[in-house]
Structure 1
Amino acid sequence: MIRVLIADDQPLVRRGLALILAPEPDVEVVGEAGDGAEAVARAEALRPDVVVMDIRMPVLDGVAATAELARTLPGSRVLALSTFDMDEYVVAALRAGAYGFLPKDVSPEELIAAVRTVHTGDAVVAPRLLTRLISAYVRTPAPSARPAPPLPAARDGLTPRELEIWRLLAVGLDNAEIAGELDISVSTVKNHLTGVFGKLGVRDRAQAVIAAYESGLVEAERRGA
């Protein structure tokens, strides 16, 4: 069973999310929270596998709550939700340790699939949003309370092939598209990405894309909205 905690400051949204998730045979909604501080406290008590976390909440916002859970309960993986497509706090949440982000207008099927994906330890970000989201974010300085971590010098250790695969990943291509672009196999792409993630010190595709924009490997202005 995937134990899920739902954190949102709107009771109607919490109830709606619970009604979507609870009927699934492999999902158990173990609790709800109305703000970030309550989400952290409830997670410490209930030890959920996945926390479906609204980004904008009172008392403690979803970004700060995500960072606290990543530090104290790494086994409780956060799936962040936001009403807004272009929300800089989503990138902050990914950097704080969230395993994924979805807008609240996704279908019930997409939400359920995302919970299962996050539970396995993989990242999930709505494809239509990832690159646009980062493009918008990098035009705005990071809040001083959450400074951007320096990009590791390991970028210099990437091979030309790894740099090219990283660049293609950052502009929105999936593994199959990268393989087609470079005329290599999908398994070779996966192997190269494992090396890229290790050298950059990032956990997943979302963090690798963020690092690509912040390092200047890809310029946001080239993408547009």
Structure 2
Amino acid sequence: MLELSNIRAGYGRTEVLHGLSITAEDSGILSILGHNGAGKSTLLRAAVGLIKPTSGTVTLHGHDVTTMSPHDRVRRGMAYVPQGQQSFTQLSCMENLQVVADLQGKAGRGRIDEALDRFPALTQVLDRQAGLLSGGQRQQLAIARALITAPKMLLLDEPTEGIQPSVVAEIQQTIMDLARDGMSIVLVEQNMGFALEAATEYAIVSRGQVVETGAGIESTAEKQSKVRESLAL
């Protein structure tokens, strides 16, 4: 579904990814773990086209998209929710959804209700300015906006970071529901317990390279033990 092969990328003269290769398969959750600064967010930004690799290839659905714009990758079925509960803060919750829906045409406008079905709590704050929402509500809004593009591959960067515990559980459940419904998800997540429980596959990134991978058939306890050993290296 999504393959990054021998990717070298970074910011200016600072290379962050050093020949990184990783594959996310169809209809599952690939959880990516690693210490801060390991290159996890840079990996996602390279996958979605916000960072141009200096070498290597990005393949989506069997097509080389390395030189494609982020917009074209969205049209091919990729969506990205960056870290930080991003939204148009001066617009209402509904206007935030409508902006994305309008870009998708008639089909997009019909997807607003589908996105709200995933996050019913947002229906209570549709007229509220996004900048006045709680962190958890803004994160739900950010994911809902991504879902309006009808992605086949959803990239999530720290979707539960800094969120109140009651909303964390709702976001985690939605992520798992999306995967069960057939969506492919690449999840960067500091909560090791959830990341490994949800994962059909996992990868550990260290110093810009994948250093460990595993499959979801392992028990969560076994996975956590292996991950802790790898992170301690």
Tell me which protein shows more helix as a share of its residues. 1
Q: TM-score, normalised by structure 1?
A: 0.34
Higher relative contact order (CA 8 A, sep 6+): 2
Query: What is the TM-score when the length of structure 2 is the normalising length?
Result: 0.34
